[in-house]
């Protein structure tokens, strides 16, 4: 396969980043990873190299420091950037708003500044459906009103606004905001996957930790939402589909300067209990659960209108909930302690 462009992937050792790096390498791109390893493991990059036979240049540094980014832009023929590196825990963002604003916005400023100086104009941004707040209409189209209900969401919203202004400041910038719904699952090889530190906040890693015996039972946050079974409804998307969405965006925006925004979801809503049942079906493991109080700040339901990505990017999710559960479990059962297992070998 002939080599395509070199793409800098910030946060490329993290969960979504690593799957995107793998996808880029498999599609003939030359991904270059920058990651400060604050919430990720270098082992993910080692395994991507093993899966692809590619050599992935890796720089351990923090994107908030433009002076450490400059040398990479001199050393590597970077033609585009996919920016994942950011803090992402909603609850933590409420406790540490300054850290979230500082890290997530300074990282963006620093990258854009360095890109501008090196005349690199292709940028794909890791945004979130959290920018829709408590949406009035589902499925949620990209044109829905935006609002953020926590500092993490604010940083995504502010970043989108900054990127809009940057795109308008000179012609040539091609910028895409990808608003993810709920990424879950893992690469079907079981070699890379989600490795949350501490107690998982999110549903799927919590379920897989119950299945592997690390946690005794799942707490289902609320069963009186106005949904088909009373539990919260979300649009879960396989992380490999999400990774492919990034490559589709990169290819689309090359010929389309300006700023673009796409939802990346499946368009299908699943409740917490739907996910529990699908997981039990796909893996044969039983997931004990208890219904507890609703989690403050959670919305009843959120799922994507995916028609824009399908029409314009020619991308749509291929995996269903059963495959998401199968692959999440494949990863967790092969790596009960995530990448930690590799370190102790």
Active site residues: 152
User: Which regions of the chain does DSSP assign to beta strands (E)?
Assistant: 6-10, 30-35, 58-60, 78-83, 122-128, 174-180, 182-184, 218-221, 233-234, 236-238, 258-264, 270-271, 289-292, 301-302
**Which range, of 1-9, 197-205, 321-329, 337-345, touches ligand UFG by CB under 6 A?**
197-205
Give Cα separations from 222 to 202, 216, 227, 275 (angstroms).
Answer: 15, 19, 11, 15
Q: Which stretch binds ligand UFG (CB under 6 A): 74-82, 209-217, 294-302, 331-339?
A: 294-302
CA proximity to 221, closest of 140, 167, 275: 275
Q: How far is the CB of 219 from ligand UFG (least distance, A)?
A: 5
- The answer to whether residue 295 forms part of the interface with ligand UFG (CB under 6 A) is yes
From 29, 73, 206, 303, residue interacting with ligand UFG (rule: CB under 6 A)? 206
Residue 31 touching ligand UFG (CB under 6 A): no
Residues 6+ apart with CB under 8 A from 342: 41, 43, 335
- Per CB under 6 A, the list member of 19, 47, 83, 88 interacting with ligand UFG is 88
Which 3 state secondary structure label does DSSP give 177?
strand
In the list 5, 79, 116, 298, the residue contacting ligand UFG (rule: CB under 6 A) is: 298
Segment contacting ligand UFG by CB under 6 A, of 10-18, 35-43, 55-63, 202-210: 202-210
- Give the orientation angle of helix 203-211 with respect to helix 272-283, to 10 degrees: 40
Position among 13, 272, 304, 317 found at the interface with ligand UFG (CB under 6 A): 272
How many residues interact with ligand UFG (rule CB under 6 A)?
A: 21
Task: Determine the interface stretch with ligand UFG among 69-77, 107-115, 215-223, 276-284 (rule: CB under 6 A).
Answer: 215-223
Which whole-number Å values give the CA distances from 3 to 14, 24, 29, 30, 148, in the listed order?
24, 11, 6, 7, 40
Q: Coil, strand or helix: which one is 271?
A: strand
Of 45 and 146, CB closest to ligand UFG: 146
Q: Which residues bind ligand UFG (CB under 6 A)?
A: 88, 90, 128-130, 153, 182, 201-203, 206, 218-221, 232, 234, 272, 295, 298, 302
């Amino acid at each position: 396969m002939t080599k395509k462009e070199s793409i800098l992937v910030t946060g490329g050792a993290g969960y979504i980043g690593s799957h995107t790096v793998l996808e880029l390498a498999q599609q003939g791109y030359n991904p270059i990873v920058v990651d400060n390893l604050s919430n990720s493991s270098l082992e993910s990059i080692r395994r991507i190299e093993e899966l692809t036979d590619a050599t992935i240049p890796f720089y351990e540094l923090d994107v908030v420091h433009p002076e450490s980014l400059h040398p990479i832009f001199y050393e590597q023929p970077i033609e585009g950037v996919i920016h994942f590196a950011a803090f992402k825990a909603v609850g933590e963002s409420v406790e540490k708003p300054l850290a979230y604003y500082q890290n997530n916005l300074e990282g963006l400023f620093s990258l854009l500044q360095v890109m501008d100086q090196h005349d690199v104009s292709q940028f794909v941004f890791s945004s979130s459906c959290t920018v829709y707040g408590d949406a009035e209409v589902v499925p949620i189209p990209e044109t829905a009103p935006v609002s953020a209900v926590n500092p993490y969401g604010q940083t995504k919203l502010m970043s989108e606004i900054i990127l809009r202004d940057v795109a308008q400041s000179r012609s040539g910038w091609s910028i895409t905001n990808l608003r993810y719904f709920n990424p879950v699952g893992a690469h079907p090889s079981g070699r890379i996957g989600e490795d949350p530190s501490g107690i998982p906040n999110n549903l799927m890693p919590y379920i897989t930790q119950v299945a592997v015996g690390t946690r005794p039972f799942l707490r289902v946050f609320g069963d009186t939402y106005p949904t088909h079974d009373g539990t919260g409804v979300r649009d879960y998307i396989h992380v490999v589909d999400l990774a492919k969405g990034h490559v589709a965006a990169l290819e689309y925006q090359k010929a389309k300067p300006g700023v673009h925004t796409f939802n990346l979801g499946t368009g299908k809503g699943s409740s917490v209990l739907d996910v529990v049942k699908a997981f039990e079906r796909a893996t044969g493991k039983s997931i004990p659960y208890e219904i507890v109080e609703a989690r403050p700040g959670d919305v009843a339901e959120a799922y994507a209108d995916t028609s824009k990505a399908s029409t314009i990017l020619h991308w749509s999710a291929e995996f269903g909930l059963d495959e998401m559960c199968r692959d999440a479990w494949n990863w967790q059962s092969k790596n009960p302690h995530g990448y930690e297992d590799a370190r102790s070998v």
